[in-house]
Chain A
């Protein structure tokens, strides 16, 4: 079967057929059923393909079969006959599925309702706590995120000194087992503040955190013990937290399998983290947040520490900071050659995951080149998460995780996701909010015109 779906505005009447513009046409899946395993090969032609690698292909042909990209090139070079379903997408844009790192999506449903909040476990050192098994694959929020092109996420615990272990999942699954892309990809360490603030005479005063050295010692000792545990061939008893730290450390010549994600914003903290990485001889350390990272670009680059930058839509910290400082952070790091990606921690992070594309759009408005902006949501993120061999870009052999937007997906004015696939399985682009919209729209459409 060959389905032709027009995107050119000149073929307006055919729009009625478009799945995209009439999500209600999909009411066949009111329960947001995960897509079925790919059985038909799919080829998308005519669109502008943003590969995630920094490259772009105009009038592209992107083909995938059995859940894997098998053609990435120009339209004229593809053999149409190889594909069962060919989608004409002239004027539209293709992207690799955007990745939301450092996300609590699926760990929280309603912020104000404690019963629905599952990202912050009691305790200081909780490396053994795993976000994956608490990830609610049928959260109401997740489908509202997919509809803007965000298809993967690193589900991350919060709180304590070591919050726990994150995992990377995709957003179209029956359960967490199906969702997992990278199980237990890394541990999350909240770096203590070197300086603390206290209120005095109505003013905040900052002084060196008296307990900082103590806390640093505790962290260092904890890591040393974990390393000893890791190196021990036969630990006498099972120590769950210690065992959970094991992946951070090298085994012989092979580097550690897990990444240490260190959360911090301040320049002084960042300097300390760099020292810590060297002292502990850790292979994979990523700075999460990093509002001041632009001030330490050289040492970050030299020490091979990537940065998951805080939300570009953040207010500058200091009154006399450049008004657009946070908007420009990605461009600042790009110019300095620091490895980085864009994330969305901040106010109402779960629901704001759907605005992730626009955090990159802003970075493009403020100095990134467009394809760099796309890469900061895709391949750069995948590299930082250690999943770049299979995800993060549209490249032959990689998992077919992609979406089509009828317009520029980084701009809310034009972001309009019409199709999305995860491993070649077509994602239902419906959600609770669209359903409510349709429900009430139908009510009003039935009323006499006012």
Chain B
């Protein structure tokens, strides 16, 4: 009954009659592992009409049978019954005696397993998003059920339960050759479970594995809840969810029922698919999963080739996008400036991504995700194959690999007995340009994609039109109806007077219209007979009379010289084009990928360098040395002094390290007229981070880490190096009293995000006070979140610190209880309940234990004073007040407390709370014995921090050497890194800058900037890089102009967000 009106009936093909028959008689049999015939009663659906028993075996015979990417059986067969494969082998199918068999001649065809896409959201209704009312929502409002607290978590969601195949998308996938997909709903951070479904039209048959995989992402999706408002918030939320689930699993009768966590635990063993947006995200996702012993499969947007080694090191398989960037319209030279070198390079290299990923040995599946239509998918796929992806790898990436990624290797991806009868029939080898996909069998049901043409109609015909003799020439076109021309028979062939005739053919039914000048249009209908040689029928003349007509195909005209030559030369031209394609000029992958990146080969090495006779501002006990020398080796400074001193004898210097000076390739740099300083350190920066610098969704977000969202590709890193800046603290913003954990990094241009981090740096966290945290300047709607006053801010701190302290107590109680558990109870599993790991409180507890240090955004003296009191009473010391523009009013109190100040040199007048800010602040703090630094909080000014230090000389008369320490040694002290950086002393890191003038002068330009002994900026090399970039850009623009794409979208703006403390909104 349920087949009545089934869309399958509407399918037309040469096999349609058989199919119809089969379906009618065979369908009621339901699936069994070994296709038993005894399943008469195995459908729950009542039959309307005769039962469908699925008795007939359907066989494709005589084909090249591609069992999988490695094995081909020539002249083989594939036999299917009741939706499963029952036999695969060489020669014809030999069934059991008396078995009903329908044999399909597939000779000359290539037969493949139906393709498999492991990354799909087929049949998932889009998650509904509440309309935005402009107000912040701190609580979950989308559901009142016993679900988890955050609307971005959908652990309880099951794709199988809501899957509804939609005809259009199902058909598009089938057309592309797919037989099955793993579908999940792409909404939220935890997306619940996905299901394997075939592309059958009926969901009951299609869902073959309802709980096949879980899916994660960093995108909050449809949730309107404030939290998370940043990528780092998403990461923290997912981590916390893993911890919560582990904790929750201990309870038989939980106090607080949480269906989401129960579902999360129930699906814990399933494969995990993690949607990412680029290789940096892959690394982030992998770090997250590693913490919980989970190895995810990553969806790669298509840029893994930019960091293959790092991506390979995750050990995760990749689902690789075939959505390649389009060529843009770069015809307007002004507008073309909007297209970055990075975009241009990516446009060129993205099609090589699949090939390079596979060649690197990374397990790879390909996906149609990103393509709506089969045509664009196949175009991209063939492009990837043309760009180095082997056909074997391509086929594996579309069959066995995706199937195995989510445990469907015994159901999908191969042609083998017992697997779903998903069989793709192609006219030739799958990846050949000319191959057509003929039919896609899904669970034993044939879907005709493009029928083999039954006959050819091209040729010359003599046309008798009611007694009149005409000539007709018919040309087959690639698509659509053939083209026809006619001319009077008495004229020579291909007469100049040939006129267009309208021809349309449907099956063997033909309609022909011939317009004869002076008479009108003859409208003819007829049939095509005898393998298309004879057409005949009746028609209506322009005057309304009816007539007979017939056309007879003539033998092929003798080949003519020039006519014949043309196609040849065309092919020749194509062949040449292909050859050019085979060895294209390709840009190199640079690190970072884009502006000012360098190839691995030309990456700066650690230098052994002896700088001689320079003015050395050590910022250490040696002070400023005129005519000083610095020797660095192995990434460290090994000697500092004057040439006269024996400590600077290279033999001695290297002897100390057991090195022979001849062996170290020590280069000498004449420092006459040059100044050498330690690398500049920015205590407060927001560059090199991505997708949100503030997690503003809560008053405390101690659980989020800037370190988890570092962006090593930010060109500002290079610009900073050009200003002599070598290290910085990437801080959370100031949207809430308790912000997030800092990323303390060196500006190691070319490294990956982890490579930026200073490994043993002390952990830090950002706090904030004043107008930002009480949301004074956020607009009229933002009046809900606690705190809205400075009074409330204090209580946020006390509340959280008390909770953190109690949290610590709970854990030590637990540990004591575990220790005192008897062996017997332990054996019986009678253990005390483990407290929940709370990432937020754990972080705050570290502060209370002086294992983590606080940098606090602050302006007014009252709140500075307040926070020092909070710290005193909670038993820790504030480490740094940043901005601290009224620090000068409480400098003595700050000294007493032992807190440092990292200030702006001269900012004020931007908020009410800075109306008493003065540029003498730095000097007064310093004069009062407070460790004082100047910071940027601004990507532009950060490049000139040496000049900001000079303002401490100008405003308040700080001596020059001390002023320079404001941006070198003092921030190093504030960051607890002064044992490694901040001054030029033997044993410290070789982070130094060579200037052409007094470093405090506006005329000083960094000539060379070293980080760990690597020359990451060099004013000469900078010019070379510019020239290289210009040439590469010019080449790519020309190439893009040559791209044959029909329509090219306009260029795109690519200025990234510029983060300050109070940047609240960014896309996640």
**Min CB distance, A93 to chain B, in Å?**
14
Beta-carbon nearest neighbor of B947 in chain A: A412
| B826: chain A residues within 8 A (beta carbon) | none
Beta-carbon nearest neighbor of B890 in chain A: A440
Asked if B924 and A437 make an inter-chain contact with CB atoms under 8 angstroms apart, the answer reads yes
Asked if A440 and B334 make an inter-chain contact with CB atoms under 8 angstroms apart, the answer reads no
Asked if B941 and A313 make an inter-chain contact with CB atoms under 8 angstroms apart, the answer reads yes
Beta-carbon nearest neighbor of A440 in chain B: B888
Judge if B594 is at the interface, Cβ distance under 8 Å.
Answer: yes
Judge if B998 is at the interface, Cβ distance under 8 Å.
Answer: yes
Given known A-B contacts A112-B776, A437-B956, A365 and B918 have beta carbons under 8 A apart: no
Measured as residues with beta carbon below 8 angstroms from the partner, the interface class of chain B is: 35 or more
Contact with B along A147-188 (1 / 0, CB 8 A): 000000000000000000000000000000000000000000
Q: Which of A10-18, A26-34, A354-362, A381-389 contacts B (4 or more CB under 8 A)?
A: A354-362
Contact with A along B1014-1058 (1 / 0, CB 8 A): 000000001000100100010000000000000001111111001
| A447: chain B residues within 8 A (beta carbon) | 892
Contact with A along B511-534 (1 / 0, CB 8 A): 000000000000000000000000
Asked if B334 and A444 make an inter-chain contact with CB atoms under 8 angstroms apart, the answer reads no
| B906: chain A residues within 8 A (beta carbon) | 351, 354-355
| B895: chain A residues within 8 A (beta carbon) | 450
Contact with B along A373-392 (1 / 0, CB 8 A): 00000000000000000000
Asked if A205 and B919 make an inter-chain contact with CB atoms under 8 angstroms apart, the answer reads no
Judge if B889 is at the interface, Cβ distance under 8 Å.
Answer: yes
List CB contacts (< 8 Å) of B303-362 with chain A: 334-335, 337-338, 340-342
**Min CB distance, A173 to chain B, in Å?**
20
Judge if B928 is at the interface, Cβ distance under 8 Å.
Answer: yes
Contact with B along A337-373 (1 / 0, CB 8 A): 0000000000110110011001001101100000000
Q: What is the bound-complex CA distance between A204 and B1052, given in angstroms? A: 6
| B912: chain A residues within 8 A (beta carbon) | 110, 112-113
Judge if A252 is at the interface, Cβ distance under 8 Å.
Answer: no
Judge if B718 is at the interface, Cβ distance under 8 Å.
Answer: yes
Given known A-B contacts A204-B1052, A320-B1029, A412-B1002, A112 and B334 have beta carbons under 8 A apart: no
| B998: chain A residues within 8 A (beta carbon) | 413
| A434: chain B residues within 8 A (beta carbon) | 918, 920
Judge if B980 is at the interface, Cβ distance under 8 Å.
Answer: no
Q: Which of A45-53, A63-71, A195-203 contacts B (4 or more CB under 8 A)?
A: A195-203
Beta-carbon nearest neighbor of B917 in chain A: A433
Beta-carbon nearest neighbor of B896 in chain A: A450
Asked if B777 and A112 make an inter-chain contact with CB atoms under 8 angstroms apart, the answer reads yes
Judge if B929 is at the interface, Cβ distance under 8 Å.
Answer: yes
Select A365's contact among B337, B1000, B1005, beta carbons within 8 Å.
B1005
Asked if A197 and B341 make an inter-chain contact with CB atoms under 8 angstroms apart, the answer reads no
Residue from A111, A113, A436 having most chain B Cβ neighbours under 10 A: A436
| B956: chain A residues within 8 A (beta carbon) | 437
Judge if A82 is at the interface, Cβ distance under 8 Å.
Answer: no
Select B1002's contact among A112, A205, A362, beta carbons within 8 Å.
A362
Judge if A275 is at the interface, Cβ distance under 8 Å.
Answer: no
Q: What is the bound-complex CA distance between A206 and B1049, given in angstroms? A: 9
Judge if B804 is at the interface, Cβ distance under 8 Å.
Answer: no
Select B1055's contact among A113, A204, A314, beta carbons within 8 Å.
A204
Judge if A302 is at the interface, Cβ distance under 8 Å.
Answer: no
| A108: chain B residues within 8 A (beta carbon) | 909
| B915: chain A residues within 8 A (beta carbon) | 110, 140
Q: What is the bound-complex CA distance between A112 and B914, given in angstroms? A: 10
| A266: chain B residues within 8 A (beta carbon) | 334
Asked if B953 and A413 make an inter-chain contact with CB atoms under 8 angstroms apart, the answer reads yes
List CB contacts (< 8 Å) of B948-989 with chain A: 950-951, 953-956, 960
**Min CB distance, B907 to chain A, in Å?**
7
**Min CB distance, B301 to chain A, in Å?**
11
Judge if A244 is at the interface, Cβ distance under 8 Å.
Answer: no
Contact with B along A200-231 (1 / 0, CB 8 A): 00111111100000000000000000000000
Beta-carbon nearest neighbor of A410 in chain B: B1002
Judge if A430 is at the interface, Cβ distance under 8 Å.
Answer: no
Select B911's contact among A112, A358, A414, beta carbons within 8 Å.
A112
Asked if A322 and B1067 make an inter-chain contact with CB atoms under 8 angstroms apart, the answer reads no
Beta-carbon nearest neighbor of A114 in chain B: B777
Asked if B924 and A110 make an inter-chain contact with CB atoms under 8 angstroms apart, the answer reads no
Asked if B1067 and A202 make an inter-chain contact with CB atoms under 8 angstroms apart, the answer reads yes
| A364: chain B residues within 8 A (beta carbon) | 1002-1003
List CB contacts (< 8 Å) of A37-80 with chain B: none
Judge if B939 is at the interface, Cβ distance under 8 Å.
Answer: yes
Judge if A323 is at the interface, Cβ distance under 8 Å.
Answer: yes
List CB contacts (< 8 Å) of B680-698 with chain A: none
Asked if A444 and B920 make an inter-chain contact with CB atoms under 8 angstroms apart, the answer reads no
List CB contacts (< 8 Å) of B897-918 with chain A: 906-912, 915-918
Judge if A126 is at the interface, Cβ distance under 8 Å.
Answer: no
Asked if A411 and B1002 make an inter-chain contact with CB atoms under 8 angstroms apart, the answer reads yes
Given known A-B contacts A202-B1067, A267-B334, A450-B895, A361 and B1003 have beta carbons under 8 A apart: yes
| A348: chain B residues within 8 A (beta carbon) | 907, 909-910
Asked if A195 and B335 make an inter-chain contact with CB atoms under 8 angstroms apart, the answer reads yes
| A318: chain B residues within 8 A (beta carbon) | 337-338, 340, 595, 1054
Beta-carbon nearest neighbor of A208 in chain B: B1050
Judge if B431 is at the interface, Cβ distance under 8 Å.
Answer: no
Asked if B910 and A203 make an inter-chain contact with CB atoms under 8 angstroms apart, the answer reads no
Q: What is the bound-complex CA distance between A365 and B998, given in angstroms? A: 12
Asked if A205 and B918 make an inter-chain contact with CB atoms under 8 angstroms apart, the answer reads no
| B954: chain A residues within 8 A (beta carbon) | 412-413, 415-416
| B1067: chain A residues within 8 A (beta carbon) | 202
Q: What is the bound-complex CA distance between A318 and B1001, given in angstroms? A: 27
**Min CB distance, B734 to chain A, in Å?**
13
| A354: chain B residues within 8 A (beta carbon) | 906
Judge if B719 is at the interface, Cβ distance under 8 Å.
Answer: yes
Asked if A450 and B929 make an inter-chain contact with CB atoms under 8 angstroms apart, the answer reads yes
Asked if B918 and A437 make an inter-chain contact with CB atoms under 8 angstroms apart, the answer reads yes
Q: What is the bound-complex CA distance between A348 and B1062, given in angstroms? A: 14
Asked if A197 and B1053 make an inter-chain contact with CB atoms under 8 angstroms apart, the answer reads yes
Q: What is the bound-complex CA distance between A355 and B940, given in angstroms? A: 14
Judge if A141 is at the interface, Cβ distance under 8 Å.
Answer: yes
| A113: chain B residues within 8 A (beta carbon) | 911-912
| B944: chain A residues within 8 A (beta carbon) | 313, 362
Judge if A109 is at the interface, Cβ distance under 8 Å.
Answer: yes
Given known A-B contacts A365-B1005, A440-B888, A315 and B939 have beta carbons under 8 A apart: yes
**Min CB distance, B482 to chain A, in Å?**
40
**Min CB distance, A257 to chain B, in Å?**
34
Select B916's contact among A204, A206, A323, A436, beta carbons within 8 Å.
A436
Given known A-B contacts A204-B1053, A204-B1055, A413-B998, A324 and B722 have beta carbons under 8 A apart: yes
Judge if B503 is at the interface, Cβ distance under 8 Å.
Answer: no
List CB contacts (< 8 Å) of A250-305 with chain B: 266-268, 292, 295
Residue from A268, A364, A412 having most chain B Cβ neighbours under 10 A: A412
| B950: chain A residues within 8 A (beta carbon) | 411-413
Judge if B927 is at the interface, Cβ distance under 8 Å.
Answer: yes
**Min CB distance, A283 to chain B, in Å?**
28
| B1002: chain A residues within 8 A (beta carbon) | 358, 361-362, 364-365, 410-413
Please list 22 pairs of residues, one from A and one from B, whose beta carbons are closer than 8 Å in the complex, sorted by A's number: A108-B909, A113-B911, A140-B915, A204-B1053, A205-B1052, A268-B334, A268-B335, A313-B940, A314-B940, A317-B1055, A318-B340, A319-B342, A320-B1026, A320-B1029, A348-B909, A411-B1003, A413-B950, A433-B918, A437-B955, A444-B892, A444-B924, A450-B928
Q: Hey, which bits of chain A sit against chain B, CB under 8 A?
A: 108-113, 140-141, 195, 197, 202-208, 266-268, 292, 295, 313-320, 322-324, 347-348, 350-351, 354-355, 358, 361-362, 364-365, 410-416, 433-434, 436-437, 440-441, 444, 447, 450
Given contacts A318-B595, A413-B1000, 7 further A-B pairs with CB under 8 A are A113-B911, A202-B1067, A207-B1050, A318-B337, A320-B1026, A412-B950, A433-B917
